[in-house]
């Protein structure tokens, strides 16, 4: 066990356990292989250096070694597979609440980003297997500078707090919250939904959505009872399960 994360991992709630690798092209890909080989639920794979991290639609995810958290969580939900997309909401709420525990106000940009002051501090990628799901999380902790265009859209806990917060403490804060929230995607979804709605940064905003049918614009009226985005256009109110890209227009 890596010394930096040893104490935090010892306090993970059951059944969560930590596996640290020096390097990984993608923690989601590596954990998928372990899951396919029978790894049990709760395995958290963290890479000290993730070289080809990705977000939705294969977009690259910047993750500077020593300054970010790049990890994936293996879950084997008992709930029907149709409910597994809610794991992205569970992860988003867990990360947002964890960030706030360090004194930084955070919001969820449905369905898979966590924002601070309109800037991205974390991204989430949920991928399903036959009988398991992988919840990948990238979280900016100690980064004080970002390269190129990333600097215009990203932030970190170090920037927001002007403090050096140990990555292990942040990881522990996320896992503790996710452990509870991932169990709420079924019968207790109202509890999870309450946190998601409280943190949603899109409610009341006019947005542009990239969907399989093309780019669409409309007003977000909130999060529906099933976790869908309530999206109003000139044609009426729709409940969207997913969108490839969401941009706030005003």
Q: Are 209 and 231 in contact (CB under 8 A)?
A: yes
Per-position b or e across 86-99, b if 16+ CB within 10 A of its CB: bbbbbbbbbbbbbb
| 34-48, 128-142, 205-219, 226-240: range with lowest mean pLDDT | 205-219
Question: Per-residue pLDDT tens for 192-246?
Answer: 999 999 999 999 999 998 877 788 899 999 999 999 999 999 999 999 887 878 8
> Taking the domain 3-199, which CATH number applies?
3.30.930.10
- 10 pLDDT band, cuts 50/70/90, is very high
Which has more pLDDT, 126 or 147? Answer: 126
Mean pLDDT throughout 167-186? 97
Cite the residue boundaries of each domain of the chain with CATH code 2.30.30.100.
Answer: 206-248
Question: Per-residue pLDDT tens for 55-96?
Answer: 555 455 666 778 899 999 999 999 999 999 999 999 999 999
The pLDDT value recorded for residue 41 is 97
- 1 pLDDT band, cuts 50/70/90, is low
Q: Are 88 and 124 in contact (CB under 8 A)?
A: yes
Neighbours of 28 (CB within 10 A): 23
Arithmetic mean of pLDDT over the chain: 92
H-only helix segments in the chain? 3-10, 27-36, 86-100, 157-161, 167-181, 189-199
Which has more pLDDT, 90 or 53? Answer: 90
Cite the residue boundaries of each domain of the chain with CATH code 3.30.930.10.
Answer: 3-199
Class of the domain covering 206-248: mainly beta
Q: Which long-range contacts (CB under 8 A, 24 or more apart) does 10-15 make?
A: 11/172, 12/44, 12/172, 12/175, 12/176, 12/179, 13/175, 13/176, 13/179, 14/42, 15/40, 15/41, 15/42
């Amino acid at each position: 066990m890596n010394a930096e994360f040893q104490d935090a991992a010892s306090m993970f709630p059951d059944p969560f356990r930590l596996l640290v690798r020096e390097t990984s092209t993608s923690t989601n890909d590596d954990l998928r292989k372990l899951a396919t080989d029978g790894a049990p639920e709760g395995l958290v794979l963290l890479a000290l250096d993730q070289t080809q991290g990705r977000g939705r639609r294969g977009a690259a995810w910047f993750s500077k070694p020593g300054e970010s958290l790049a990890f994936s969580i293996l879950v084997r939900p008992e709930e029907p597979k149709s409910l597994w997309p809610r794991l992205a909401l569970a992860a988003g709420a867990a990360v947002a609440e964890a960030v706030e525990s360090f004194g930084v106000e955070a919001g969820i940009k449905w369905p898979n980003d966590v924002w601070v002051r309109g800037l991205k501090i974390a991204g989430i990628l949920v991928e399903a297997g036959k009988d398991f799901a992988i919840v990948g999380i990238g979280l900016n902790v100690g980064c004080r500078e970002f390269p190129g265009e990333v600097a215009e859209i990203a932030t970190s806990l170090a920037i927001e707090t002007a403090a050096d917060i140990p990555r292990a403490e942040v990881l522990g804060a996320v896992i503790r919250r996710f452990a509870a929230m991932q169990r709420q995607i079924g019968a207790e979804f109202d509890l999870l939904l309450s946190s998601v709605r409280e943190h949603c940064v899109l409610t009341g905003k006019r947005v542009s959505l990239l969907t399989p049918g093309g780019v669409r614009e409309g007003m977000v009226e909130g999060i529906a009872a099933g976790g869908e985005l309530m999206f109003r256009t000139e044609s009426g109110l729709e409940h969207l399960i997913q969108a490839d890209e969401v941009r706030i227009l005003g």
